[in-house]
Structure 1
């Protein structure tokens, strides 16, 4: 078990990170799916008691990875913003301050379903916003996990998790990377997101993350 587990996918080395992201050494790129900035704020506007500080926690996690791995580019695989209510000063103030601390970093957002509803981030964040797929090397970078006719898909959207079963009724549900023959799915990076259980089907490799490590379970 390791905080960064290298795998070979289509003759390309990718590192699965315990922080629920992928590092692509050859591209000096960090891939992140489903960060859902402003989700807690949107829920609080509806009167729901939800945690504070999730935006700052997500930004600190990004800072940790950008300091640890040499990155020229950060690519969000959809759902950067959660909802129209996320377009607020409370959400954007910390994002703008964070962006100012990384002025040379190229940031690309591949729009997801929540982004289409929430709207694009403000131009002041200095982000390139594109419609899926973004073709890079052997991969189609998408939000929706639909197969591409010529490229292996790296996507988000599903927030995959795998349930480890112990003795008796013991169960531990952990986020996971799902590496398939045509489509691979990243776990949700955001700290305030749900998860969807994934089965260990034939031809599919599953790597769970927990306690600062990544390890293969199927």
Structure 2
């Protein structure tokens, strides 16, 4: 098991359903063939949502996440961005207007939202931000959904799980890292958003995880 240190906007090559993708250290996936950027579980609005509920999250985190998203898109200049659900965490709050303004300024890129369980805003809100909305999006043999289904005849790229893996070192050292989790017919992306938490996965034989440790990708095959 070796770690690969990457430049900030470089990616680690991952093969999915016969296609080559780049897993980015920013917890996003790039499909170079079509110049499509894929982002799961951004959960924009979560900071404001929890602050209103009395949870002491830093207000600076709002602009930090928004800036990170905009810089990623501007650095890559994809033709299209696919948000794999849970784009906005809850009801409309001040973060939605910030996000809407930033997205509309990126007029060289088109945006698709594959709805997730947290995407509860009225459709008009998404459309006013220039987002096309759908429940499933398919192209070139790959199906994009928010949550993995029981479908086995198609390869799905999805989110929802917020996968993480516990990496153990010498002694009692350990760290839980976000990852892309690849099974036989699914690729479950790490959550892009901050303050999303991690679900501890237990891979089976033949499955793969690609751990993201800041600017490094650590691939593991089981």
- Residue 139 (structure 2) aligns with: 136
Correspondences of 1:39-118 after superposition (within 5 Å): 39-84=46-91, 87-88=92-93, 90-115=94-119, 117-118=120-121
2:191 alignment counterpart: 188
Which whole-Å CA distance do the structure 1 matches of 2:126 and 2:73 have between them?
22
Instruction: Give SS of 2:33's match.
Output: helix
Q: Does 1:206 align with 2:213?
A: no
Contact 2:82–2:112, Cα closer than 8 Å, also in 1: yes
Match of 1:24 in 2: 31
Residue matched to 1:179: 182
1:106-136 residue CA offsets vs partner (Å, 9 max, x unmatched): 1000000111x444444321110111x2111
What is the DSSP-based 3-state SS (H/G/I as helix, E as strand, rest coil) of the residue aligned with 2:166?
A: strand
Distance 1:118 1:34 in 2: 15
> Do the aligned partners of 1:54 and 1:192 also contact (CA within 8 Å) in 2?
no
Residue 48 (structure 1) shift: 1.7
Residue 8 in 1 paired to residue 20 in 2? no
By how many angstroms is 1:92 displaced?
A: 2.3
The CA RMSD over aligned residues, in Å, is 1.6
Q: Unpaired segments of 5 or more residues in structure 1?
A: none
SS at structure 2 position matched to 1:181: coil
Q: CA deviation at 1:61?
A: 2.1
SS at match of 1:113: coil
Deviates more, 1:68-77 or 1:49-58: 49-58
Corresponding residue of 2:44: 37
Partner of residue 166, structure 2? 163
Out of 151, 155, 162, which is 2:154 matched to? 151
Q: Say whether the 8 Å CA contact 2:210–2:220 is kept in structure 1.
A: yes
**Number of aligned residues:** 213
- Greater Cα shift, 196-205 or 70-79: 196-205
Which piece of structure 1 moves more, 121-130 or 104-113? 121-130
> What is the deviation of 1:41?
1.0
